[in-house]
Structure 1
Amino acid sequence: MGAFVAEVALRWSDMDAFGHVNHARTITLLEEARAELLFTEAERRGLLGMAEGMVVARVVVDYHSPLVYKAKSLQVQMSVRDLKAASFVVDYTAFAQEAVATAETLMVPYDLRAGRPRRLTAEERDFLAEWQLDPAAESSRA
């Protein structure tokens, strides 16, 4: 299917003393974009389990240029890779007229009641597979 795109509004409070969006706020903006995919879009399609427990196991961000508030919003393109039984990676490219950052998060489905990681359901795997940019390359690496 390709990348999922979310538009995230920038807030005045996202800026730091240097006049650009603070690193921690950038992570939060990416989280808001990811919630659009894993919670809002998944729920729209009848998948409620992701919103009931999904944790970030690792996050990596590479900054390409400063993100400033005057951009007003951030367009975040997301895709899925390394889709496994109990984890997957979300890749991000964040744009404010130009690419300002690329990032990845290792996501793990989590059973909040049991207090432990869980496996993805078949329906969740199918949903996530829709957002792989090159599913053939993924299956050849498995």
Structure 2
Amino acid sequence: MGAFVAEVALRWSDMDAFGHVNHARTITLLEEARADLLFTEAERQGLFGMAEGMVVARVVIDYHSPLLYRARSLQVRMSVRELKAASFIIDYTAYAQEAVATAETLMVPYDLRAGRPRRLSADERDFLAEWQLVDSEKTELGRA
């Protein structure tokens, strides 16, 4: 299917004293985009389990240019990589007018009641597989 695209509004409070979006706020904006994929889109397709437990095990972000508040919104293109039995990576490319950041999060499905990681269900794996990119799409998004 290709990349999932989410549009996230920038807020005045995202800006720091230097006039660009603060690092911690950028991570939060990526989180909002990820929630749009893993919760909103998954539920739209009839998959409700992901909202019951998914944790970030690692996050890495590379900045390419400052994200300025005047951009008003951030377009975040996401794809899934390294889809395993009990984890997967989401790759992000965040655009204002140009690519401002690339990032990745290692996600682990989590059983909140048992208090431990769990395996992805077959339905979850199928949903996530929809967002895996082919090589030509990876190059286009800057994740070769």
TM-score category (smaller protein): over 0.9
Q: CA deviation at 1:134?
A: 2.2
Deviant stretches of 4+, over 2 Å: none
Structure 2 equivalent of residue 138 of structure 1? none
Query: How much has 1:80 moved relative to structure 2?
Result: 0.1
State the distance in 1 between where 2:114 and 2:72 align.
41
Which residue pairs with 2:20 in the alignment? Answer: 20
- Structure 1 match to 2:125: 125
Match of 2:142 in 1: none
**TM-score, scaled to structure 2:** 0.93
CA displacement, residues 17-49 of structure 1 (integer Å, 9 cap, x when unaligned)? 111000000000000000000000001111111
Q: 2:3 aligns to what?
A: 3
Query: Take 1:17 and 1:106, find their aligned partners in 2: how far apart are those partners?
Result: 31
Unaligned runs of 5+ in 1: 136-142
Report the equivalent of 1:68: 68
Equivalent position of 1:97 in the other structure: 97
Which amino acid in 2 is paired with 1:69?
Y
TM-score normalised to the size of structure 1? 0.94
Partner Cα distance (2:40, 2:50) in 1: 10
Q: Structure 2 regions of 5+ residues with no counterpart? A: 136-144
